[in-house]
Amino acid sequence: MRFMVLIKASADSEAGVMPSEELLSAMGKFNQDLIDAGVMLAGDGLKPSSQGARVNFNGDKRSVTDGPFAETKELIAGYWLWQCKDLDEAIAWVKKCPNPMGEDCHVEIRSLFEIEDFDTEQAPAFKAQEDQLRDAAAKRS
């Protein structure tokens, strides 16, 4: 199963305060442990929302809202994409993680939909298309 592990933003991360060298080192070691275990597929920190935008959909119309965004507790400061056997394994890994904010914070774990989750006759065709897209993206990076 694949999981998106979301690190919630803090006032410091939204203010652009960079992590300490100590935290960067601890996170680097943790990430290496994830890679060595075959868990980590991807992961990065995100710049503050002041450097981002939201595209709002209203029917056929689109509007753009420039950051920063007001509700820090609803924002994401970083993410991992993990491959784990189940939610319990993902939780166990998060419990081993250094505190990503050095203060009270939340890390959210969400499982990704897999093509097998969709009950449709088109599943094999969708799976083939998904595999092609992933292969093309992997070749580009």
Share of residues in the chain with pLDDT > 70 (%): 99
Token pair for 65: 């809202």
Bond preceding residue 98 cis, omega within 30 of 0: no
Scan for tokens 């890994």, then name that residue.
93
* d(C-alpha 141, C-alpha 134), whole Å: 11
Q: For residue range 64-111, what is the model confidence (pLDDT) as tens digits?
A: 999 998 877 789 999 999 999 999 999 999 999 999 988 888 999 999
The neighbour count for residue 90, using CB atoms within 10 Å, is 23
Alpha carbons 139 and 127: distance in angstroms, whole number? 18
The sheet carrying 40-45 orders its strands as: 40-45, 76-83, 2-8, 107-111
Domains defined along the chain, listed by start:
2-140 (3.30.70.1060)
Residue 47 is given by DSSP the state -
Sign (positive or negative) of CA dihedral 59, 74, 70, 42 = negative
Instruction: Specify the range with the lowest mean pLDDT, choosing from 10-14, 31-35, 39-43.
Output: 10-14
